Amino acid sequence: MRMRSLVVLGLASAMLGCGSGQAIPVKVEELAKELSKAHEEGTLLAFDMRYKGKVLRITGKMGKSGRVADTMMATGRGDYYAVFDIDGSPRCEFAKPDALVNVKKGDNITIEGRLYSTEGLLGFPALRLEDCRVVNEL
């Protein structure tokens, strides 16, 4: 019985990317839709269990970037941010702006970061990633 539990736990961990140290690849549109659906259906806890604390590799079109201090969402997790060009975009926070210097609105981009929050303003869900880095510009 104990062996069966360990096997099931191991399979679940592998499916969710737990302990593997590898980023979970997602397209920004799909992630935004999944979060919106979880909010509408009242299943944010399941969404959190699947993604929170994990490194996501998100691909999409660049929206804008800037200094966190210039926004209402200062978190202390990064001094600079970037968002994708889509409603419900994750906000990716960076310690340094270097990675964002050559990226402009409309560019295809892949960013990796650890999801630390699904809470936004006024009770609406929002994805917040920390320790972000640009993996590549497509």
Would 40 be classed as within a structural domain? yes
At residue 70, the pLDDT reads 56
Would 13 be classed as within a structural domain? no
Question: What's the chain look like in SS3?
Answer: CHHHHHHHHHHHHHHHCCCCCCCEEEEHHHHHHHHHHHHHHCCHHHHHHHHCCCEEEEEEEEEEEEEHHHCCCCCCCCCEEEEECCCCCCEEEECCCHHHCCCCCCCEEEEEEEEEEEECHHHCEEEEEEEEEEEEEC
How would residue 136 be classed by pLDDT, with cut points 50, 70 and 90? confident
**pLDDT tens sequence across 13-54:** 333 444 446 899 999 889 889 988 998 999 988 998 999 999
State yes or no: pLDDT of 111 exceeds 50: yes
Would 49 be classed as within a structural domain? yes
Would 14 be classed as within a structural domain? no
Would 54 be classed as within a structural domain? yes
Would 113 be classed as within a structural domain? yes
At residue 98, the pLDDT reads 84
State yes or no: pLDDT of 117 exceeds 90: no
**pLDDT tens sequence across 70-84:** 554 445 556 777 887
| Mean per-residue pLDDT, 85-101 | 81
CA distance 128 to 85: 15
- Mean pLDDT over each residue of the chain, to the nearest integer: 76
Number of structural domains the chain divides into: 1
State yes or no: pLDDT of 57 exceeds 70: yes
Would 114 be classed as within a structural domain? yes
Would 39 be classed as within a structural domain? yes
Domain that holds residue 92: 21-137
- Higher-pLDDT residue of 131 and 19 is 131
CATH of the domain at 95: 2.40.50
